Chain A
């Protein structure tokens, strides 16, 4: 029986607007939880009637943190509908951009969005620079910035910053909370690496700038990529541009191998108890990505496609995005209604009418028995699913892919823990690091693939046969997908008379942050919180740890499709 309700709103260090409410029993353990997305922008409605070749630009603006992935899913959806196969170079360039995004996104998440749940900045003030240097050199012998002088300077910087009395981003947090377990030296090392990673992240994304002209929000193109390749031109992708890309890739490998992975493995032993919490659903969904033989051949993806149910790693189930019985969305606890009277709809048949039925702002709490979120509840064959790095690593591992087995078993061996620890908050955070490791390696592999193509004389980057709308069928439909940093992302499009007739997006954070469905099955965030003990309800660092382990992206998660452009919103304030 619930004795106390704890509300955390806003959840910070995420993208977008998320509210979490949990119920605690008399021992302070979470007995129930609800996750509420508190923003809605209506992107899918805005897309209606537009030129399908423009859709990627609109969709890309769903999210500027995982910039690029919605554009990619969108061009793939339109290409699927129109029957366009992109040149191999375009596939490779898209893979390189995907990988650069994933590595950058995961590093930012680890150091800037997640680390402060585990790292106590105030404790770092007590660190001995010499001891910190010894620790750093032991943890990562190759990383150059590890001298006692470096840590003394950084400790001085930190002390003066704190003494200035203007703590900025770091004020009013949970410093000194008993849940922080790292010694001062580890805390100081982590704070220093927070700053190093902040300096580096602006470099890796220059790969997007080379091929897409800018970051955030690089340019994509239906049919391929707009950045032409010509080794004899100083105004196209040439040797100098490729050299820049390769240099950035090598730096990314260094950051992942010498900073991210060592820090992850150094911090994890202090928090092994978090292998017992935050597991949640135990159901994992992956669409797969990084095609090697065209997007239509999932058997050749670097990230295999599949579903794992009930933590059963012995079986990987097949997934079909075009099967209208598989991916379906429900609105039982969402601020929408279905006119068709059905409980669940496949995205091609999707319909959504927003109908706010929450309390009138400003409000104190939501009603877990009623509707409580702007997110819908996507389900796979009726099952609530988790998506993201943990799902990808588990499906890859369970599929027996050697590269996955190597990185997963390598990390488990160093930490001396069994594979079952993966089903947890700690496992989710570790899986993201391992995925970054694979992604950094694959960046170089895809680069080499591009060079091999160029050596063979293949320089095409765009297919233009079906660029003109006059070449399109009167009606068609398609789906596009990618594995975004936060998980499986699908776009479903219908095109009629050269315009977008309907557009539906099912986003990773919608899977993970979804409210309960019609059968009262919790979404992944909610399920993961239940059972976690809290030391101090006023300083809910435990909630942040588990929620951040999913890397929430709420701007992605909330949007809507309206069938015929009729008045969409009907609002009831109570």
Chain B
């Protein structure tokens, strides 16, 4: 912790950047709102921002398409500049880093060494996943396999954030027949808290919201059975969809650009995966609330769900969802979806319990829970 105590807190940095107290409090209020927190929690955010130094983040890129990084810099509150300059110390990120080559690897190795020596800590953010087939040769960085780099960097990380569906559940390169043996992070890293933030990509403000939550409360957000933050992945898109009334009324788009499409009716018959997808798209929406897939006339493809690429074709309606007509139907849909999800996560349930136990331990240790 020595190295951390040397670093200025977010408030100190902001103050030095010309923020007065009033602007700083406003900033904290917006940040709290972005995390979905009640106004009563603002003082907690203020305290965190006043006293906590910027923690180093190592952001690794494996097999991926960089859509998560692109989403991250789209964040409206906080904006990426504030996260990178004022909240974290983004010490390693191949996409944005000024240095290149061995100088970059020196930074990563230096942070690992410090953590190993008990002189520092860092959060590991992983975008993409590791190919495990054939000795990992399908992705190398600096001459070493990404698989080795991931394992080496995770070993001393304080926590691991798995950005996007690649890192959380495998995504497109893990789709049938998964030629490179790509595996999500939680299948490779054990004994370490892993937060899954799925989506292809995740919503920008979900990404910054997860990070700021960890920084503010110095603990991980509450996770569901799949290791996802409950605050963003707790409910199905369908349950909060503004077109839900049309579903219940049996009014559906039957063909692209038909009258129903122009009226904004339900896209269930066009293959919408909203009824089986847990994400915040229909509430938070995308790109500072401009729209989300259903809002722009295309069904959800379920991009935050496990194995969504192999649950196609995307335009085939969900066979397990009965058409509406009786009042109980929506609940039946919910039960069906939950059972399917449960089967998918059973294999990881044990790992989840271990992670949760660790997270709880951390909470007690730091003594900075919400109760304070």
Residues in chain A within 8 A of chain B (CB atoms): 7-17, 19, 38-43, 45-46, 50-51, 53-54, 57-58, 61-65, 67, 112, 116, 121, 153, 156-157, 160-161, 164-166, 168-174, 195, 198-199, 201-202, 205-206, 208-219, 221, 223-230, 233-236, 244, 354, 356, 358, 360-364, 374, 460-462, 464, 467, 540, 544, 555, 560, 562, 565, 568-569, 571, 573
B98 near A121 (CB under 8 angstroms)? yes
A13 near B200 (CB under 8 angstroms)? no
A13 near B18 (CB under 8 angstroms)? no
Output the residue of A12, A46, A227 with the most chain B CB within 10 A.
Answer: A12
Given the known interface contacts A214-B292, A215-B286, the answer about A172 and B298 at a Cβ–Cβ threshold of 8 Å is no
State in angstroms the CA–CA spacing of A420 and B139 once bound together: 39
Chain B residue nearest in CB terms to A562: B179
Q: List 20 A-B contacts (CB under 8 A).
A: A9-B142, A13-B97, A14-B94, A15-B66, A19-B140, A41-B180, A42-B179, A46-B172, A58-B309, A63-B66, A64-B65, A172-B107, A202-B204, A209-B287, A221-B256, A224-B256, A228-B257, A361-B144, A461-B256, A573-B135
State in angstroms the CA–CA spacing of A467 and B56 once bound together: 51
* A-side contacts of B106, CB under 8 Å: 172
A217 near B138 (CB under 8 angstroms)? no
Interchain CB contact (< 8 A) of B18 among A19, A41, A153, A360: A153
B262 near A213 (CB under 8 angstroms)? no
Report, as a range, how many residues of chain B touch the other chain: 35 or more
B104 near A214 (CB under 8 angstroms)? no
The 8 A-B pairs at the shortest CB distance, nearest first, are namely: A64-B67, A235-B264, A42-B179, A213-B293, A213-B296, A173-B98, A51-B313, A226-B298
Chain A residue nearest in CB terms to B134: A571
Is B312 an interface position by the 8 A CB rule? Answer: yes
A236 near B264 (CB under 8 angstroms)? yes
The main secondary structure of chain A at its interface with chain B is loop
Interchain CB contact (< 8 A) of B313 among A53, A166, A219: A53
* B-side contacts of A214, CB under 8 Å: 281, 286-287, 291-293
Within the complex, the shortest CB–CB distance from B364 to chain A, in Å, comes to 29
Interchain CB contact (< 8 A) of A226 among B93, B141, B296: B296
B291 near A213 (CB under 8 angstroms)? yes
B99 near A17 (CB under 8 angstroms)? no
Given the known interface contacts A62-B65, A362-B143, the answer about A198 and B80 at a Cβ–Cβ threshold of 8 Å is yes
Given the known interface contacts A12-B100, A160-B17, A364-B143, the answer about A212 and B298 at a Cβ–Cβ threshold of 8 Å is yes
State in angstroms the CA–CA spacing of A12 and B94 once bound together: 5
Interchain CB contact (< 8 A) of A166 among B54, B79, B294: B54
Within the complex, the shortest CB–CB distance from A368 to chain B, in Å, comes to 15
B298 near A219 (CB under 8 angstroms)? yes
Within the complex, the shortest CB–CB distance from B100 to chain A, in Å, comes to 4
Is B91 an interface position by the 8 A CB rule? Answer: yes
B73 near A201 (CB under 8 angstroms)? yes
State in angstroms the CA–CA spacing of A356 and B133 once bound together: 12
Is B334 an interface position by the 8 A CB rule? Answer: no
Is B324 an interface position by the 8 A CB rule? Answer: no
* A-side contacts of B69, CB under 8 Å: 64
State in angstroms the CA–CA spacing of A171 and B315 once bound together: 48
A221 near B298 (CB under 8 angstroms)? yes
State in angstroms the CA–CA spacing of A50 and B310 once bound together: 9
State in angstroms the CA–CA spacing of A142 and B204 once bound together: 32
Is B74 an interface position by the 8 A CB rule? Answer: yes
* A-side contacts of B180, CB under 8 Å: 40-42, 569
* A-side contacts of B263, CB under 8 Å: 230, 233, 235-236
Interchain CB contact (< 8 A) of B100 among A13, A156, A205: A13
Chain A residue nearest in CB terms to B71: A216
B79 near A205 (CB under 8 angstroms)? no
* A-side contacts of B281, CB under 8 Å: 214
B291 near A209 (CB under 8 angstroms)? yes
Residues in chain B within 8 A of chain A (CB atoms): 6-8, 13, 16-18, 54, 56, 61, 63-71, 73-76, 79-81, 84-85, 88-91, 93-104, 106-107, 131, 133-146, 148, 171-173, 175-180, 182, 200-201, 204, 255-257, 261-264, 281, 286-288, 290-298, 301, 303, 309, 312-315
Chain B residue nearest in CB terms to A544: B100
Given the known interface contacts A9-B143, A15-B66, A38-B140, the answer about A54 and B95 at a Cβ–Cβ threshold of 8 Å is no
Chain B residue nearest in CB terms to A232: B262
State in angstroms the CA–CA spacing of A11 and B95 once bound together: 9
A38 near B96 (CB under 8 angstroms)? no
Within the complex, the shortest CB–CB distance from A73 to chain B, in Å, comes to 15
* B-side contacts of A67, CB under 8 Å: 65, 67, 70
B139 near A166 (CB under 8 angstroms)? no
B93 near A169 (CB under 8 angstroms)? yes
A236 near B65 (CB under 8 angstroms)? no
Given the known interface contacts A12-B99, A40-B138, A46-B173, the answer about A166 and B67 at a Cβ–Cβ threshold of 8 Å is no
State in angstroms the CA–CA spacing of A462 and B143 once bound together: 48
A467 near B255 (CB under 8 angstroms)? yes
State in angstroms the CA–CA spacing of A361 and B6 once bound together: 38
Output the residue of A41, A157, A230, A236 with the most chain B CB within 10 A.
Answer: A41
State in angstroms the CA–CA spacing of A309 and B138 once bound together: 34
Within the complex, the shortest CB–CB distance from A249 to chain B, in Å, comes to 15
B99 near A173 (CB under 8 angstroms)? yes
* B-side contacts of A568, CB under 8 Å: 179
Within the complex, the shortest CB–CB distance from A246 to chain B, in Å, comes to 14
A10 near B262 (CB under 8 angstroms)? no
* A-side contacts of B103, CB under 8 Å: 172-173
B67 near A168 (CB under 8 angstroms)? no
Given the known interface contacts A10-B142, A213-B292, the answer about A112 and B96 at a Cβ–Cβ threshold of 8 Å is yes
Within the complex, the shortest CB–CB distance from A91 to chain B, in Å, comes to 14
B138 near A361 (CB under 8 angstroms)? no
State in angstroms the CA–CA spacing of A374 and B137 once bound together: 10
A464 near B101 (CB under 8 angstroms)? no
State in angstroms the CA–CA spacing of A112 and B155 once bound together: 31
State in angstroms the CA–CA spacing of A207 and B191 once bound together: 43
State in angstroms the CA–CA spacing of A12 and B61 once bound together: 11
* B-side contacts of A212, CB under 8 Å: 293, 296, 298
Given contacts A42-B173, A166-B54, A202-B79, 10 further A-B contacts (CB under 8 A): A7-B143, A40-B138, A45-B179, A64-B70, A172-B103, A206-B287, A209-B291, A210-B296, A219-B296, A226-B297
Within the complex, the shortest CB–CB distance from B286 to chain A, in Å, comes to 4
* A-side contacts of B90, CB under 8 Å: 168-169
